[in-house]
Chain A
Amino acid sequence: MREAVNALNWATDAAFVLLAAASIRQYIRHPQRHRLDIAAAILLLTLVAALGRLQPALPSSWMPAITDLEIALLLASAYAFLRFRADFIPLPRPWEIAIIATLVVIVAYTVAVGLSTAGARPTPAQEVALVLVVGAWVACIGEPVIRFALASRGRPPVQRRRLQTLAGGYLLLIIVLVVAGLASSAADNQVVSLVIACISLLSVPLIYAGFSAPAWLRRIWREAEEEAFRHATRDLVTYSPTRSEMGQRAVEWAVRLTGGDGAFIAEPNGAVLAAAGMEPTWAQELLQQLPLETEDPVEIAANRTAVRLPLPSPGTAPASLVVVTGPFTPFFGTDEQLRLRQYAANTAAGLDRASLTERITALERTKTEFLNLASHELRAPLTVIRGYLSMVKEGSFGALPPDLSEVIPVLLDKADQMNRLVEQMLEASRLEEGRLELKLEMSDLRELVRAAMEESRPLSTPIHKLQMQAPPGEIPVRVDRQRVTTIVSNLISNAIKYSPKGGEVRLLVDGGGGGSALVAVRDEGVGIDPSDNERVFTRFGRITTSETRNVPGTGLGLYLSRELARLHGGDLTFQSEPGAGSTFTLMLPLEAS
């Protein structure tokens, strides 16, 4: 048992030496005040342990002086730890002076009394001194432990675990000191000694993890959030309606990801797009201080650093993502920086997509507004032109000279044509806004095709032969009659327009094919070059050849026809052979009659 305790005590002391070395190394690598303070606290504590180890080897006449030195070092270590805490949560100056004075008085009193008992029972004065030393130490360590434990709540996982671990490590040391110091009789008990040795050994890794958590441990701490983070990143990149919304989510996650205190995204012109955990005004000031890209975190204030990463966007200057460390996570490890870099790349892609979406949305809206306004404004003058032309034609202004009576119908026809184009533009904008409502009614498809033929007849010239072929029975469909008629008459008028040399336009109506009703419109016109296949149904995708360059149209007809067919649950397809003609086939769901 005694050997075990002894071995554990040796291990603890060795661990403290290593811990002190690690903390000093940290300070040398990143010379910052708080690192100096924590290194001092650990080093002083290690020295106390080392002196205790050396005691038996030293002359016994040195004992009182060694004990006094131990007390002084112990309280100095407590003060260093309090300084470490003050680096994050400022300690008022008068308080600090009072604490130093108290500690000095306690050391002076202890020296005057002399704690070295050399095996004798301690005098009451010595007991008071002992209580004062342990009390002061517990107070100086205990207050920060509670502070850190409290501050850990509600922080990102890495920060939280770190603060909790550091607080836990020091709490163990308090327990060791209180038990060993105040209950010195208990220390004689072998079991108690063993437990104390175990606890003090355990405190070492905790303290180490607290002030310098290795990357693997940080990763484990973060794991709980990892899954949520992956989801968030995917959402971030693929779905965020606007740049500012996307930016806001991105900064919030940047803070959680790194355990930082705040983050913001600045546009290339310096405007703050989004900020989390910090005021936009401060963000703007900070931006001035930072270089365009930081290789390592830059110190921006006592114990605070910031990282600035570019968010590259093709064709423009990059925006920046800045993450600021918090008072409780005063630095970013390479792991955080690496992750931050990957994250910045994702964010940049997401922002790019969001601004593209924004631009497209704005463009679409402007276009729709324009179409609506244009359609309405175009209709007003058309009303007058068509109106008066129709009155002239019907003789409201007297009999017409023969030439004029030939010209007026042409004018009227053109006005009608223009009216149809306006209607098409309006229909397209309704479609894009999702405002198009179908008025579904049971109908006989043959009837609708006949109506469409009647509508298009004025377009056909003597060289065109319109023919319809339909089965004798009814073809029941549930459709918007007006719109289906428009689709078919549009197909007929296209067939005529793209057959400049004339020929036959055949309409084949069929209700037999596997749940679909069909209307095929076949012409013997110019046909469609295979290279144009993809443009046939696109908006404004007009196809012109030398023969049909003067064919009027908006390029909306086929686009609208197919969209309307699809809204009905059908489709519009075509087959074509250049020079031999095209067949457009409208398919609509067949209703049970």
Chain B
Amino acid sequence: MSQTYVCPSAVPEAVTDWWSTLGQPRRSPSLDVLLIEDDNDIAEMYRRRLVSDGLQVAIAEDAETGLRLLREDRPAVLLLDIRLPGEDGYHVLQEVRADPALAHIPVLMLSNYGEPSTIRRALEMGASEYLMKSSTTPAEVALRVRAYLTRGSDLQ
């Protein structure tokens, strides 16, 4: 990243931190989870469960919207379906891992594709976890999200 070059080490850390956020969309501190899912009923179900846990949730119905929201709002955790209209979940995953500003976001794949090759591909591309929608209850999803959120705050 460019901040080390632009800011001499004499500059106080608080300033460099502030400096590094300039020119980048500000991370909305409130968005915990972005869910990219084209099935409205499924999306709404997970949203309800996560909201009831007190989390801030946004939903995107396709890859394009999802990527835009990712860049604008910087969610703490991304829940990502594979089968989407237009570009698929793999594309989003690739974009996220290739973008230094987003690469740190844990990505939980949430799909009904169960072929071993599909799962392997997602994990190799950098997915943090792969969950089969039909055999995962919303409570389990919420539990996994919580785990990532806690881990994230521990790091901070």
Instruction: Mark A residues whose CB is within 8 Å of B.
Output: 376, 379-380, 382-384, 386-388, 390-391, 394, 396, 419, 422-423, 426, 430, 435, 437, 439
Contact = CB atoms under 8 A, between A and B. Distances in A.
Nearest to B49: A391
B133 interface: yes
B114 A391 contact: no
Interface of B: 39, 41-42, 45-46, 48-49, 52, 112-116, 132-135, 137-139
B112 A380 contact: yes
Contacts of A376: 112-113
Contact of B42 (A380, A422, A439): A380
Contacts of B113: 376
A284 B138 CA distance: 66
A391 B116 contact: no
B112 A396 contact: no
> A interface, by DSSP: helix, strand, loop or mixed?
helix
Contact of B134 (A386, A430, A435): A386
Given A376-B113, A379-B134, A426-B114, A384 B139 contact: no
Contact of B137 (A387, A422, A437): A387
A387 B113 CA distance: 17
A394 B48 CA distance: 13
Contact of A391 (B48, B112, B115, B133): B48
Contacts of B48: 391, 396
Contacts of A437: 116
B115 A435 contact: yes
Contact of A419 (B39, B115, B135): B135
A376 B82 CA distance: 12
Given A380-B39, A383-B42, A435-B115, A390 B134 contact: no
B116 to A, nearest CB: 5
Contacts of B45: 383-384, 387-388, 391
Nearest to B132: A379
Contacts of A380: 39, 42, 112, 133-134
B112 A386 contact: no
A383 B81 CA distance: 13
B7 to A, nearest CB: 48
A430 B112 CA distance: 15
Nearest to B46: A387
A390 B137 contact: yes
Contacts of A382: 134
A383 B112 contact: yes
Contacts of A386: 134, 137
B13 to A, nearest CB: 44
B155 to A, nearest CB: 30
Nearest to B83: A376
Contacts of B133: 379-380, 383
A383 B139 contact: no
A384 B42 contact: yes
A437 B114 CA distance: 12
A379 B113 CA distance: 9
Contacts of B52: 396
A383 B135 CA distance: 7
27 contacts: A376-B112, A376-B113, A379-B112, A380-B39, A380-B42, A380-B133, A380-B134, A382-B134, A383-B42, A383-B133, A383-B134, A384-B41, A386-B134, A387-B42, A387-B45, A387-B46, A387-B49, A387-B137, A388-B45, A390-B137, A391-B49, A394-B139, A396-B49, A419-B134, A422-B134, A437-B116, A439-B116
A184 B17 CA distance: 122
Nearest to A420: B135
A162 B13 CA distance: 101
A380 B40 CA distance: 11
Nearest to B52: A396
Nearest to B44: A384
B135 A391 contact: no
Given A387-B46, A391-B49, 20 more contacts: A376-B112, A376-B113, A380-B39, A382-B134, A383-B42, A383-B112, A383-B133, A383-B134, A384-B45, A387-B137, A390-B137, A390-B138, A390-B139, A391-B48, A391-B137, A419-B134, A426-B114, A430-B115, A435-B115, A437-B116
